[in-house]
Structures are given as C-alpha cells and as structure tokens.
Amino acid sequence: MVRAPCLLLLLPLLRFSAATLEPCEVDDENFRCVCNFTGPQPDWSSAFQCMTAVEVEIRGGGRNLEQFLKGASADPKQYADIVKALRLQRLTVGAVQVPAPLLVALLRALGYSRLKELTLEDLEVTGTMQPPPLEATGPPLSSLRLRNVSWATGGAWLAELQQWLKPGLKILSIAQAHSLAFSCAQLHSFSALHTLDLSDNPGLGERGLIAALCPHKFPALRDLALRNAGMQTPNGVCAAMAAAGVQPHSLDLSHNSLSAAAPGAPRCDWPSALSSLNLSFAGLEQVPKGLPGKLSVLDLSCNRLNKAPRADELPVVSNLILDRNPYLDPEASKQQDQNSGVVAACAHSALTVGISGTLALLRGAGDFA
Ligand SMILES: *[C@@H]1O[C@H](CO)[C@@H](O)[C@H](O)[C@H]1NC(C)=O
Ligand SMILES: *[C@@H]1O[C@H](CO)[C@@H](O)[C@H](O)[C@H]1NC(C)=O
Ligand SMILES: *[C@@H]1O[C@H](CO)[C@@H](O)[C@H](O)[C@H]1NC(C)=O
C-alpha cells in the first residue's frame, strides 16, 4: 500500500531523465532498443541499456569508430558467456565509418550470439578484412541486408565478408552498392541462399548483373529481385541468368525502364522453374517479346499499354495483372504522362486493391504449401 504512492512520486523524475536525451531508448518490453549517437559528444555507454533487447538499432552520425579499435584485438572467448546470454536476434548498424578489423572483431564476438538478421546502412568500411583463423566463425545469420555500404577492397568485399559468416545465409540484399563486380573465384557457394535482392542499384544494368551473379554460387536461389536496377529488356536479364546458371522461381523486374526487346537480340531460354514475373512500373507500351511460354503470375500493371494485349502476345498465365494501364484506366495515363521514363506513381484504384488483396492471399497460401 505504501509502495505505490512512492512510485508515483518518482514518475516526474523518470520523465525528466527521458527529456535529457539519452542516446539509447528501449521499449517497455525490453524488445527493441534504438540508439542515435548523432548528437555532439555521445555517451556510448548508454548502449548498455540494449543488452537485453532482441532488436537493436544503432546509428552513429557518420562517426569514425577507430577509437574502439584498441579493444578489438581482445580474444572474444573472454566474453563468450555474456554474448551467449544475449537475446539479440536483429541488429542494425548505420551511419558510421568502421575500420575492417573492428568489423571483424564484431563478427567474431557475434559468432557466440543468436543473431539472425544483420543490417548495415550508410557505412564506410576502411582497410581490409583478414581471413579468419580456422576455428573462428561469425554469426549464424539467416539474413544480411546492406544499403549504401562502401568497402576499401572493391569487388573482393563479399568474399571477405562471407568468410566471417557461418554458412546458412538465406536472404542477401544489397542496395545502393558501390561495387557489385564480385571476385567470383574467391567466393564460396551460398548453398542455402533463396533470396537475392539487388534492387535499388540503378547503375547495375544487365552487364553488371552478369558480373554480380557469380556462376554456380547461388544454387538454391528462388527469388531474384532487380527492382530499379537499370535493367533494359527481360531478354537481357534472361541471358544473364542463363550465364550464371541461376533458376529462380520468381523474378521482379518492376521499376525498371524496360523496352520490349533489343533489336536482333537472340532468343533466350528462361529458367524452367520461373513461375512469377513482375514487369510492373516498367514504362512498357507493349508486351515484351520472348517472355516465358507459361507462368502462374505475370504482373504488367502500371505500364503504358494502350490496348488490351492479344492472347498470342502473352504467355499462358493463370494470374495476369493488367490494372492501371491507359487502355483500362484513362486516369492512369494522365498520371503517367507527367512522369517521363519509368512510371513513378500508380495510385491505388479499387481494382488494384481488389487484385492485390487476392494476390496477397494467394502468396500467403503459397508460403504454406
Ligand atoms: C538522430 O538525432 C539527430 C539529432 O541529434 C536527429 O537529427 C536525427 O533525426 C536522429 N535520427 C534518427 C534516425 O532518429
Ligand atoms: C551513403 O553513406 C555515406 C557514408 O558512408 C553518406 O555520407 C552518404 O550520405 C550516404 N548516401 C546516401 C544516398 O544516403
Ligand atoms: C510487382 O512489383 C510492384 C512494385 O514493386 C509491387 O507493388 C507488386 O505487388 C508486385 N506484384 C506482385 C505480383 O508481386
């Protein structure tokens, strides 16, 4: 009875300490902890609050983390027990300059953790990563996402980073990359990788894709996403996939400025497993030639088709999506005329919502099949 009023008296104090802008904040469930060290003279020790969180996000305001290098040479075995006890499963590190040896030290330490998902954003990695000694392995990641990460070692970075990850990575996404011309000879096979997302690399193009898709390194690939990746024709992408020997089930080419076909381009044999092709938001005025003969999903929404495609122009498709093309929807064409090149906006109509709702259901069902 006495305790409750005492606690209430403390409340103004709590509010006061929150107002003094702690760089780190953890939610009531101790689930998610977010640190923003952008301010002047950040108190790094505030990050200890995140020790028991499952999701941790740290932004460094572009700072160089060199000052932590001294501790980086310590043997991570010393604190293995503490790291093993962490609940941490998802970690995002953003807006810092990291010397490669420090990144290595972090990965070594996380090797004792249960970290599943690592995201690096707006990072500059300086120097080179040493190869691991035989017994050392990094975290057992299932997903690795990189956005705007630059590496001093150019195209060798993926092979260097891969050495520090336990095998088993399922999802790899690399956006705004500085180099996707990987050193394929040094790369090991990503034997469990089912999703490769190279979206938001507008300078990639089909030639860059050939360099990025190292032959036979992605044997389990099912989903390949190339949104806004400078792709020019579906056939060119097909050729790059054939050269790499990848056999995805779904290919997302939306938000590329696609043309129907390069003149005189040779025919390409699509992967036999390909069942879903997304060509939406691609500025298409006609259905591209040389598409796969049979698909379960073909998304041609938000293009510039002025008349209904004829059956002989289309593959055999169970789920054809054509909404928001000018022939169906004069409003859409008005919007598209305002955007040159790739159609940027494609507002939702009742039709879109209806169809995408059905699709979401279908996709949900597919996940459990
Ligand atoms: C981090 O803090 C700075 C000010 O110190 C603020 O401008 C910025 O928006 C914050 N970033 C995030 C992601 O909250
Ligand atoms: C990319 O990251 C660098 C820091 O490494 C940053 O200065 C730059 O603003 C970022 N670019 C974008 C487009 O966010
Ligand atoms: C195709 O891509 C667009 C844009 O990226 C997305 O909104 C749409 O849901 C995708 N379609 C399918 C069938 O997944």
List, for residues 135-172, the tens digit of each pLDDT value.
658 999 999 999 999 999 988 999 999 999 999 999 99
CATH 3.80.10.10 fits 206-259+271-362, yes or no: yes
d(CA 328, CA 343): 16
Q: Whose CA is nearest to atom 8 of ligand 1?
A: 38
Domain ranges of the chain: 1-169, 206-259+271-362
Q: Whose CA is nearest to atom 11 of ligand 1?
A: 36
C-beta separation of 259 from 203 below 8 A: no
Residue 235: predicted pLDDT: 93
Question: Fold match between 1-169 and 206-259+271-362?
Answer: yes
Mark out the alpha helices in 196-345 (DSSP H runs): 205-212, 234-244, 330-338
Atom of ligand 2 nearest to the CA of 176: 13
Which CATH code fits 1-169? 3.80.10.10
Structure tokens at 70: 């001294």
Global confidence as pTM: 0.86
For residue 176, what are the contacts with CB-CB under 8 A and spacing of at least 6?
A: 147, 148, 200, 201
Closest CA to 228 of 330, 342, 128: 342
- How far, in Å, from the CA of 149 to the mean position of ligand 2? 8
Structure tokens at 350: 């009742």
Residue 78: predicted pLDDT: 84
pLDDT category at 352 given cuts 50, 70, 90 is very low
Residue 336: predicted pLDDT: 52
d(CA 214, CA 201): 17
DSSP string, 115-178: --EEEEEEEEEES-PPPPPTT------SEEEEEEEEETTGGGHHHHHHTTS-S---EEEEES-S
Atom of ligand 2 nearest to the CA of 123: 5
Q: Cβ(124) to ligand 2 under 6 A?
A: yes
Residue 266: predicted pLDDT: 77
Report the run of H or E that residue 16 belongs to, with start and end.
helix 3-19
Q: Whose CA is nearest to atom 5 of ligand 3?
A: 254
C-beta separation of 98 from 58 below 8 A: no
Residue-wise pLDDT tens digits, 266-308 = 788 999 999 999 999 999 999 998 899 999 999 999 999 999 9
d(CA 321, CA 109): 48
Residue-wise pLDDT tens digits, 185-229 = 999 999 999 999 999 999 999 999 999 999 999 999 999 999 999
pLDDT category at 133 given cuts 50, 70, 90 is confident
Ligand nearest to the CA of 202: 2
DSSP string, 212-237: HS-TTS-TT--EEE-TTS----HHHH
Q: How many CA atoms lie within 13 A of 272 on its CB side?
A: 0
Strand partners, 46: none
Residue-wise pLDDT tens digits, 7-56 = 334 433 343 444 456 899 999 999 999 999 998 888 888 999 999 999 99
Strand partners, 32: 55
Atom of ligand 1 nearest to the CA of 61: 1
Residue-wise pLDDT tens digits, 70-96 = 878 778 888 889 999 999 999 999 999
Residue type, 26: V
Given a cut of 90, whether residue 330 has pLDDT beyond it is no
Q: Cβ(38) to ligand 1 under 6 A?
A: yes
Q: Cβ(39) to ligand 1 under 6 A?
A: yes
Residue 347: predicted pLDDT: 53
For residue 23, what are the contacts with CB-CB under 8 A and spacing of at least 6?
A: 35, 36, 37, 39, 42, 43, 44, 46, 47
Structure tokens at 242: 């054939």
Q: What is the mean pLDDT of residues 114-132?
A: 94
